Amino acid sequence: MAEESPPPPPHGHPTTKMAAADEKPHHKEQQPPYPHHRGGHPPKDPRRAICAAAAIILLLLGSAALALYLIYRPHRPKFRVLSAAAYQLNTSSPPFVTATAQFTLAATNPSRRAAILYDPFSAYVSYRGRAITPAASLPPLVQERRSTVALSPLLGGSAVPVEAELANALAMDEAYGVVELRLVMTGKMRYKVGAFRSRRRGVSIACDMLISLKNGFVGKLTLLGSPPCKVYL
């Protein structure tokens, strides 16, 4: 006769609780994603902080430079021919042009806070885009802020070879009594604000004049037109 298996223990018996506890799955205790950092947040990247600080510094420097520029920004100098005198202007073979002239210019520095330092300039007279006097050197000049100075360069004296077409055109204009000339000055300049000096920059000045001139005339010329000179920086 087969042995009967013992009946199962009643529900709630200690043996049943122990078995149920043994059957529960064992879960590992979850660790925070960054156990070395309190609160479970990722640590800040020091490179981000450095980049942010550098960006702030550059922004502050740029703002300061812009403010200084707006306060101390220099203005373009202004030039104008006030008078002219001719001592010689003729043509000769094969052909040459011999011209000697003196011009009086007003140079104005409109800047309220910046002085202008001019290096030695090169100056000559041109007719229809062709130089008719040798280039002459003008001395350096220091022009204070909000000031106007007079320049009186004497140019020419030597024969300059030109094309026959140009010599003929000049002779015809002299016979007519009206000649258009251009005074050209080139060099370098820089601005000075207190102890600060800007870098040197090239400057070119072109002064167009329409003058009354008859062949062989010597003396002060009549300016029929003398607009402000063009200044190129």
DSSP 3-state of 165: helix
pLDDT at position 193, please? 87
| pLDDT digits 0-9 by tens, 157-186 | 899 999 999 999 999 999 999 999 999 999
| pLDDT digits 0-9 by tens, 45-99 | 778 888 888 889 988 887 776 666 655 567 899 999 999 999 998 888 889 999 9
Q: Is the pLDDT of residue 1 over 50?
A: no
pLDDT at position 224, please? 92
**Length of the chain in terms of residues written:** 233
Query: How far is the C-alpha of 63 from the C-alpha of 60, rounded, in Å?
Result: 5
Residue from 59, 154, 35 nearest 101 by CA: 154
Q: Is the pLDDT of residue 140 over 60?
A: yes
On whether the CB atoms of residues 101 and 211 are closer than 8 A, the answer is no
162 Cα distance to chain centroid: 37
**Per-position DSSP letters for 139-167, written without gaps between them:** PPEEE-TTEEEEE--EEEEEEEE--HHHH
Nearest 5°: the CA angle 163, 166, 169 is 150
The CA radius of gyration of the chain, in Å to the nearest whole number, is: 44
